Structure 1
Amino acid sequence: MALAFPPNPPPPPPHLTNTNNGDSLSLCHHSRLLRLLNECTDMSQLKQIHAHTLRTTSTTHPHTLFLHSRILHFSSSADLRYAFRVFHQIQNPNSFAWNTLIRGCARSSELENQALLLYCKMLSQGDPMPDEFTFPFVLRACAYLFALSKGEQLHAHVVKFGFDSDVYIGNGLIHLYASCGCLDHARKVFEKMTERSIVSWNVMIDSLVGAGEFETSLKVFGQMQKLFEPDGYTMQSIINACAGLGAMYLGMWAHAYVLRKCDNAVASNLLVNSSLVDMYCKCGSLDMALQVFERMPKRDVITWNYMILGSAMHGKAVAALKCFDRMINTESCKPNSITFVGVLSACNHRGMVSKGRKFFDMMVKEYKIEPRLEHYGCLIDLLARAGFIDEALNLVSSMPMKPDAVIWRCLLDACSKQPHASIELSEEVAMQILESGGEGISSGVYVLLSRVYASASRWNDVGSIRKLMTEEGIAKEPGCSLIDIDGITHEFFAGDTSHPCSREIYHVLDALNEYSNSCMHLPDYSQAPMVN
């Protein structure tokens, strides 16, 4: 989600009040330096102009302050360390200089904290004071640092200085609160805004999608359409909402809207098309995802990851691995840790143990990617499902991080499916799951452990498990299915009769069941002699 920030105001123009020959010559010299700065394309040229400025101009001259402001502006987006040096050479920097350096730090992926320190230093000096161009960048730094308490103090300063009606600052506050998980605060800021731009709506919609409020985001989108035409950022968020809901028809509408109503730049936008690939995969239409993927003029690692993960999710392991091979060999796109989650998941779906080991080693040795818990989980599940429980346990013990309940549950699930699995091992794994904590895991653990006892014909222990579940009030969580019909998502639980059409649904299912049973008793004519 790209935030629109207010443009930097131009540096204050030098006061051209003197008219003698010396000042005229000085003005001509400063004009030549300014022209060179405007034509500058890299840091090497900038350093030469800066050195010439220091040698040939007076630091107290108003024209020199203007030149230093332009040098600072260029270096803040090209070399921040050099920008700091330029800033410290300026005597009594004005608000433009402070804001330029704060903006550069806020946009950096490593120096966001410096933006907050600069703001505090600017505030402590008292001259110049922060203005409406200062706060959007400091709020951005707080959002990326998840610094909620500092952001709330900034919000108080915004109100104190009388900038709470500024649209750019409002957008920054929405982004800050949403990034820190305070969606209610973000909504309050949005609702109190007296003026909203399309970016305000985009930030609010994207925040709702990020928080999983998919249906609410679509309602806000409907309100936005009455005032603004959606742009690429809007459609990307809406497509992601459709993916989260699994709303295939609504996602197709969003796709059609992009093609018909948006300009070619949006229709060919990398992020929009990547979101479409992800949406179609999550909605179950791998063919449509592949069509969008193949028609994309450009793809990045995120696009490839969506296609690999989508293929793996649908059990198309061979297609996922072919996509990975094409990614690294044909397109020469470097994979990242998420890529290997998809590749290992694909191997897991098809039980490709040797390939799973190979790709795990490739990730570590060839691409120098440090395995995360998800990678270990995929490989452990793959090994355990294939019956290599001892190897899976050895991998668990060698992990640099503590295994979570999901990994232990994979091992217990594998033990429950092995006819001669160790009862003691299964009990130990079950204990590890219960000790790891987490909501909603108890019922699954007891069910899997009862299967282990049942496979060993220890029926008394099976009965004890079921009795314990009854006494503790632990019920097996029902399965759940979702289906999208005419843009409406219907949710069904096992044994559920709350749906208004449940009577008709069960009537149809019973009829289908009877038909299926009758087909099972039809005579087999496959071996009958052919009649000429």
Structure 2
Amino acid sequence: MCKKRLYTSSTFHSYGCGMNHLLLVEGIKYSAKTWKWCMSLAQRCTCMSQLKPIHSLFITQGLHHNNYAISKLLEFCSLSESGDLSYASLLFTQIDYPNSFIYNSLIRAYSRSSQPHLALRYFRLMLNAHDNVYPDHFTFPFVLIACANAVCVPSGQQIHTLVIKNGLASSDSHIQTALIRFYSECKMLKDARNMFDEIPDPDVVKCNILMTGCLQSGLSSDALAIYQEMLLKGNEPDAFCVTTALTACAHSGAILQGKQIHEYIKQRTNLSSDAFLGTALVEMYSKCGSIDMAVQVFDNMPKRSVCSWSVIIGGFAHHGHARKAIECLEKMQVIDGLRPDGVVLLGVLTACNHAGLVIEGQSLIEKMEVKYGVRPKHEHYSCMVDMLCRAGLLDEALRLIRRMPMKPLASVWGALLSGCRTLGNIKMAEIAAKELICLENGNGVMQEDIAYVQLSNIYLAAGKSENASKIRKLMGEKGHKKTRGCSVIEIDGQMNEFVSADVSHPDRSNIHSILQLLYHCIIPQPNKSQGAIN
């Protein structure tokens, strides 16, 4: 049976003396000078146009049969920013006996590429390889990343089983982190939480990954609960973890917890000057309704980025201070020497939209490319269409849609449909609804739901109940349902979530009693003795 060639330092044996003495590597003799020269070329390689001639040289010198030598070329192709993954795969096919390093390099590279399923292919090849090549603690984290990126849940669960059998799930911190990340990114938060709870003392990285998973699934309250648990265990959160907690506060409106985190930041010099944290604080105060505190934090930031300006502009837009948002375009260039990007300009357009400044909005979108070097994208046109619709200029909005340099997507037709509902324009609503339903971008069912519900409401408002009934009947036949409303409120630092038709809140009886009292106080009740309304 042919044994696999594996390169180690002990594989080398010297013959002769001087620079031209021979080396025996994996049973093949090479000139020491040739070996040193070829390895030097491989190490200094910076682009594929250099690598290919080096590969040719390796072949002429017989080094392409040497795992160590060829792994240097494969490593560059697969892991370097200047590399070429397809060429790395071709190199792999020429290797008779790939070792663990070669498999791991390809698995790692493909796990983060646009083809993560190929990482799973190389993992399967590795499992079926003979002679002492097995997945190790370097392999599993990247395979799990590939499963998450490919949304391949069954494979990820099988790998979880495999690492449990190998004993790595309970002993290797990197694999534990990868498992939590896999389940979180696949929206399997219960499994992610179970994995997290099995770890006796989870570190800050694991906490942050689970918090991020909760945020991405819209569970801001759960993210904050994990943050509080971490503090109670005495673990010191890093800047990333604190930023995630502030984002959770912003999403849920938990300003009390946000203020507590702000005080925590002030007490730690290593956090107080962090630009990302400062920006997260500005966003938290802004989204929680305290624009004055947001401005105060922003003004006190030692260093601001374009992102920081974007957040404060978004805050001004949210709170109706459109003129201040417009002024920021000049200030960020004069004070901080920063040029507005597409996100900043979208924030200013949004501010104009909320304040009804149509002329200013039109002027900005027309001058964006000339004045700021930013070509308007779909989101800018979507905002402008919404602005025109809010101003009652439906015909102008439709003309703008027809002039767009790209295909209008759901946000554009949705804005026009909403405007039609406000103004009761049935004819144009039917056009917008038809376009919205015909779109094919992966959210077809959701788009149909929006279109049907909006169109039905427009028909009802116009007194065309028969048309509305037809739409509702069509929705039922297609299995569409209106998305249930949801609201969140913070009371004594605790987040309370309410969903339409939900009866799971522990204080629902008291809530209903208070609502009943309010109902009797607000709604006039009939006077039984007089038979009239008070």
TM superposition score normalised by structure 1: 0.69
- Once the two structures are superposed, residues 130-174 of structure 1 have per-residue CA deviations (whole angstroms, 9 ceiling, x without a partner) of 222112112213323334344345445545655433332232222
> Judging changes above 3 Å, is the alpha-carbon distance between structure 1 residues 415 and 19 closer, same or farther for their aligned structure 2 residues?
closer
Trace 1:21-36 onto structure 2 (pairs within 5 A): 21-22=16-17
Unaligned runs of 5+ in 2: 1-5, 24-31, 438-446, 471-481, 500-507, 523-534
Deviation at 1:318, TM superposition (A): 2.0
Counterparts of 1:182-201 in structure 2, within 5 Å, are 182-193=188-199, 196-201=202-207
1:246 and 2:253 correspond: yes
Q: CA deviation at 1:180?
A: 2.2
Q: CA deviation at 1:251?
A: 0.9
Q: Which residue in the other structure is 2:282 paired with?
A: 277
Q: Pick from 133, 137, 140 the counterpart of residue 142 of structure 2.
A: 137
**1:317–1:350 Cα contact (<8 Å) kept:** yes
Aligned to 1:77: 80
Aligned equivalent of 2:394, options 376, 389, 404: 389
Instruction: Give the conservation status (yes or no) of the 8 Å contact 1:411–1:429.
Output: no
Residue 244 of structure 2 corresponds to residue 237 of structure 1: yes
Question: Residue type matched to 2:292 in 1?
Answer: D
Within the alignment, does 1:214 sit opposite 2:189 as a pair?
no
Instruction: Tell which deviates more after alignment, 88-97 or 153-162.
Output: 153-162
SS in 1 for 2:84: helix
Please state if 1:177 is matched with 2:183: yes
SS at match of 1:131: coil
Q: CA 1:70/1:487 → structure 2, altered by over 3 Å: closer, same or farther?
A: same
Taking a change above 3 Å as real, the CA distance of residues 352 and 73 of structure 1, as seen in their structure-2 partners, is: same
> Percent identity over the alignment?
30
The alignment status of 1:438 with 2:442, answered yes or no, reads no
Deviation by residue 1:82-131 (Cα, 9 ceiling, x = unmatched) = 872765665533101221232233344x4544433433443444452322
Deviation per residue, 1:240-267 (Å, 9 max, x gap):
1111121112112112212324x52x44
Change (3 A) 1:44 1:13: same
| CA shift in 2, pair 1:448/1:45, >3 Å | closer
Partner residue, 2:174: 168
* AA in 1 matched with 2:256: Y
The answer (yes or no) to whether the contact 1:412–1:449 under 8 Å persists in 2 is no
Counterpart of 1:259 (choices 256, 266, 283) is 266
In structure 1, C-alpha distance between the alignment counterparts of 2:102 and 2:338, rounded to whole Å: 42
- Residue 389 of structure 1 deviates from its aligned partner by 1.9
Give the letter aligned to residue 348 of structure 1.
Answer: N
- TM-fit CA distance, 1:68: 4.9
Q: Secondary structure at the match of 2:10?
A: coil
Higher RCO (C-alpha under 8 Å, 6+ residues apart)? 1
Tell me how far apart the structure 1 counterparts of residues 163 and 346 of structure 2 sit (CA, whole Å).
Answer: 43
Distance 1:174 1:211, change over 3 A: same
Cα distance, 1:368 vs structure 2: 6.8
Who is 1:15 aligned against?
10
Name 1:335's counterpart in structure 2: 341
SS at match of 1:93: coil
* Paired AA for residue 187 in structure 2: G
Counterpart Cα distance in 1 of 2:248 and 2:394: 39
Q: State the partner residue of 1:115.
A: 119
Question: Which 5+ residue runs of structure 1 have no aligned equivalent?
Answer: 1-10, 417-421, 454-460, 469-475, 511-532
1:280-319 alignment, distance < 5 Å:
280-296=285-301, 298-319=303-324
SS at match of 1:387: coil
Deviations 1:419-457 (A, max 9, x none): xxx6x5487579879986437985x77776676x6xxxx
* Residue matched to 2:442: none
Distance (Å, rounded) in 2 between the aligned partners of 1:385 and 1:484: 31
Deviations along 1:501-527, one digit per CA (max 9) or x if unpaired, are 959x979x99xxxxxxxxxxxxxxxxx
Q: Give the structure 2 partner of residue 471 of structure 1.
A: none
Which has the higher mean CA deviation after the structures are superposed, 342-351 or 86-95? 86-95
Post-superposition offset of 1:231: 1.4
Contact 2:317 2:354 in 1 (8 A): yes
Report deviation, 1:210. Answer: 1.9
Give the TM-score normalised by the residue count of structure 2: 0.69
CA distance in 1: counterparts of 2:208 and 2:420, whole angstroms: 45
Once the two structures are superposed, the pairs formed by residues 41-52 of structure 1 within 5 Å of their partners are 42=46
Most deviating of 43-52 and 147-156: 43-52
Aligned 8 A contact 1:409 1:433 in 2: no
- Across the aligned residues of Structure 1 and Structure 2, the Cα RMSD in angstroms comes to 5.2
Deviation at 1:31, TM superposition (A): 10
Contact kept? 1:33, 1:49, Cα under 8 Å: no
Cα gap change, 1:53/1:199 in structure 2, threshold over 3 Å: closer, same or farther? Answer: farther
- Please say if 1:354 is aligned against 2:359: yes
CA contact (8 A) 1:317 1:346 kept: yes
Q: 1:464 to 1:234 in 2, by over 3 A?
A: same
Q: Specify the alignment match of 1:106 in structure 2.
A: 111
Q: Spell out, residue by residue over 1:384-436, the C-alpha distance to the aligned partner (whole angstroms, 9 max, x if none).
A: 222322112334566624546742442234415xxxxx6x5487579879986
Please name the residue that 1:516 is paired with: none
* 1:380 is the counterpart of 2:391: no
Pair 92,445 (structure 1): closer, same or farther in 2 beyond 3 Å:
closer
Q: Cα offset for 1:341?
A: 3.5
Which of 402, 412, 426 in structure 1 is aligned with 2:420? 412
Is the CA contact (8 Å cut-off) linking 2:287 and 2:315 kept in structure 1?
yes
User: How many equivalent pairs are there?
Assistant: 472
The Cα of 1:20 is off from its aligned counterpart by 4.9
